[in-house]
């Protein structure tokens, strides 16, 4: 059997292609499906089957387009209520492709319709005279070092789903042998869990021993732990799940980007429209269109765009090249931001040439910030997530994670100098641009973030005692 994992860093998303005897299966495809078509062709296989492990909330899946382009069948858990033609699968459903097979486990918990796929490689089995499962594709039920969050379904309470997740893990997945490989749908950085490890695969045995959620022996305690301290749930999650339930528009059918002149952008911004600058943070800090939001292509661009802008923003893109524009457009479509206001023709240079004013964000090093904290009134603003803040932060810093920027502004005056930081400088530039847009006049970005602060051996405090 041929097996390949496709990992998309932007969304911390893993999808899979399996093929045997010229017949291929794709599991949890990303929205742009060309890569699966190419890989299948290279291996002399035809894609005949597409599985969705559940209704993904954090990205728009390409299952419908892939099915339309290949004639493949789509398989989903029966609880999904999908509205396009599909095979609704239950526990024990089995699909044979070539010499390999997939057996479905219904594993409600992360969402009611979640399924896991147990893969048996017949080519190996023939050889070894046994048909033992080789791997399990766990979707968002079991991650490496974590399990799926139980609060993404509008129809069930997190406590109900956490209870179901406990049953699915202990009565279904953990009945598999320790040697069975584990391939999840997400890796570190995904908001579908809390704290995944960086590895891209594991085994049932390793997870049984090391995964914190699998160490919790009582169902009650599991529910309690899984439903407390949940990470923020971006608003776009419910919308993406709904797009996936009905099936997304094919990428080629999306409207082309419209060129926008500086003068038109100026009036759009005055009317409250959003400009999204996708250039690297340093370029944005040096000069930008005032009021534009910076989310650089270098990081988890699409997740942050979905989180801080939402799906109804229709931003006008600002980029340094056509290649950047195309990349931004695709990556935004992958989370469902697909109706865009256009792009600034000629980028920031054209804005400058039109004689319009530019904005900038001052950047300082960790040592410079430390010196300023001792002499001036500067408010440090930490925009990292809770576990990062708990592990250590700058004393007297205010904490406002970037995930919450849409809902609760910090109680800081607009005239106060604010030094913003995250871990390495990516999220803090997003936050700095949002603060400027919201009217904060003296926004300063800490170069290199908390990592640089620690490298400079500057003092920090932690919220919880470490090592107790």
Minimum CB separation of residue 174 from Fe ion in Å reads 20
For the chain, the first-to-last Cα distance in angstroms comes to 48
Cβ 143 vs Cβ 189: under 8 Å:
no
Half-sphere exposure of 365 (CA within 13 A, CB side): 5
Distances (CA, A) of 439 to 83, 358, 400, 412, 431: 44, 15, 17, 11, 13
List residues near Fe ion by CB under 5 A. 140, 192
What is the distance between the alpha carbons of residues 348 and 331, in angstroms, rounded to a whole number? 21
Query: C-alpha 77: how far from its chain's center?
Result: 22
Minimum CB separation of residue 389 from Fe ion in Å reads 25
Of residues 156 and 421, the one with the C-beta less far from Fe ion: 156
Of residues 74 and 373, the one with the C-beta less far from Fe ion: 74
Minimum CB separation of residue 57 from Fe ion in Å reads 5
Of residues 36 and 143, the one with the C-beta less far from Fe ion: 143
Distances (CA, A) of 208 to 145, 185, 360, 381: 10, 18, 50, 39
Q: Residue with CB nearest Fe ion?
A: 140
Minimum CB separation of residue 422 from Fe ion in Å reads 24
Of residues 192 and 309, the one with the C-beta less far from Fe ion: 192
Of residues 89 and 192, the one with the C-beta less far from Fe ion: 192
Nearest Cα residue to 68 out of 104, 37, 28, 41: 37
Nearest Cα residue to 379 out of 430, 416, 337: 416
Cβ 363 vs Cβ 284: under 8 Å:
no
Minimum CB separation of residue 11 from Fe ion in Å reads 11
Of residues 169 and 192, the one with the C-beta less far from Fe ion: 192
Minimum CB separation of residue 170 from Fe ion in Å reads 20
Minimum CB separation of residue 56 from Fe ion in Å reads 5
What is the distance between the alpha carbons of residues 444 and 382, in angstroms, rounded to a whole number? 12
Of residues 96 and 246, the one with the C-beta less far from Fe ion: 246
What is the distance between the alpha carbons of residues 110 and 40, in angstroms, rounded to a whole number? 30
Tokens 């299948």 locate to 40
């Amino acid at each position: 059997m041929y097996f390949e994992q496709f990992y998309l860093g932007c969304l911390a998303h893993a999808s899979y292609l399996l093929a045997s005897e010229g017949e291929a299966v794709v599991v949890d495809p990303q929205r742009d499906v060309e890569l699966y078509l190419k890989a299948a062709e290279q291996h002399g296989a035809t894609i005949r089957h597409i599985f969705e492990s559940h209704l993904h909330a954090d990205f728009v899946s390409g299952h419908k387009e892939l099915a339309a382009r290949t004639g493949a069948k789509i398989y989903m858990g029966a609880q999904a209520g999908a509205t396009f033609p599909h095979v609704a699968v239950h526990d024990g459903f089995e699909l044979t492709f070539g010499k390999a097979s997939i057996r479905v486990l219904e594993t409600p918990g992360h969402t009611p319709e979640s399924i896991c796929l147990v893969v048996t490689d017949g080519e190996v089995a023939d050889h070894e005279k046994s048909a033992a499962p080789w791997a399990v594709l766990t979707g968002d039920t079991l991650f490496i070092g974590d399990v799926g969050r139980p609060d993404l379904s509008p129809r069930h309470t997190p406590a109900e789903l956490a209870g179901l997740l406990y049953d699915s893990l202990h009565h279904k997945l953990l009945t598999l042998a320790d040697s069975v490989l584990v391939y999840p749908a997400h890796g570190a950085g995904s908001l579908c869990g809390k704290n995944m490890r960086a590895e891209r695969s594991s085994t049932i045995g390793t997870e049984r021993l090391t995964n914190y959620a699998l160490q919790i022996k009582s169902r009650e305690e599991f529910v309690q732990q899984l439903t407390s301290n949940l990470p923020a749930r971006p608003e776009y999650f419910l919308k993406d799940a709904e797009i996936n339930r009905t099936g997304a528009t094919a990428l080629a059918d999306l409207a082309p980007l419209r060129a926008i002149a500086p003068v038109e952008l100026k009036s759009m911004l005055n009317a409250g429209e959003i400009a999204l600058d996708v250039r690297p943070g340093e370029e944005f800090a040096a000069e930008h269109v005032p009021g534009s939001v910076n989310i650089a292509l270098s990081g988890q661009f699409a997740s942050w765009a979905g989180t801080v802008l939402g799906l109804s923003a229709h931003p006008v893109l600002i980029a340094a090249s056509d290649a950047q524009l195309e990349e931004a457009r695709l990556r935004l479509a992958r989370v469902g931001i697909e109706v865009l206001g256009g792009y600034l023709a000629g980028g920031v240079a054209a804005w400058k040439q039109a004689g319009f004013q530019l904005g900038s964000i001052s950047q300082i090093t960790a040592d410079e910030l430390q010196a300023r904290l001792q002499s001036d009134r500067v408010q440090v603003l930490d925009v990292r997530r809770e576990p990062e803040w708990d592990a250590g932060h700058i004393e007297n810093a205010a904490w406002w994670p970037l995930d919450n920027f849409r809902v609760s502004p910090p109680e800081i005056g607009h005239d106060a100098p604010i030094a913003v930081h995250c871990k390495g400088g990516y999220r803090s530039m997003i936050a700095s641009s949002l603060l400027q847009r919201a009217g904060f006049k003296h926004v300063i970005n800490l170069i290199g973030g908390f990592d640089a602060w620690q490298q400079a051996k500057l003092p920090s405090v932690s919220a919880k005692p470490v090592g107790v």
